Amino acid sequence: VSPRAGCPQRAQYGPCSLRRMSVMEALELLDQLVDESDPDVDFPNSFHAFQTAEGIRRAHPDKDWFHLVGLLHDLGKVLVLFGEPQ
C-alpha cells in the first residue's frame, strides 16, 4: 500500500470528480487567486507560470520536460477554489 493511499485529498481529488479542465483552463483559474506567498504582485499568477517555464527553457533548452514542470509547478493552487488552504 502506498504511504499516500490513506490521504484524504487523494480520495477527494484523485478521481478528478469535482471538475475536469485543460491545463490552459487551470492556468486561467490561477488568475482568480491572490497568492498568500506573494500578495503584492501586480501581474496574473499565470504570467508567473509562463515566466518560470521560459526562464527554464532559456537555461535548459534541451530539457522540454523541465519547461513543462516550470509551467505546471503552481497548478495545485487552484484547489483553493475548492476549499483547500493555501
- The answer to whether 67 is annotated as binding is no
| pTM, full prediction | 0.74
The pLDDT of residue 45 is 87
pLDDT at 10: 76
38 is in an annotated binding site: no
Q: Which of 42, 86, 48 is nearest to 70 (CA)?
A: 48
Q: How far apart are CA 33 and CA 80, in angstroms?
A: 8
Boundaries of every domain in the chain: 18-80
40 annotated as ligand-binding: no
Please give the pLDDT value at position 35: 75
Instruction: Please report, in tens digits, the pLDDT of each residue of the chain (86 residues total).
Output: 455 556 777 777 777 666 788 999 999 999 988 877 776 778 888 999 999 999 999 999 999 999 999 999 989 888 888 888 87
CA distance 40 to 46: 15
In this prediction, residue 1 carries a pLDDT of 40
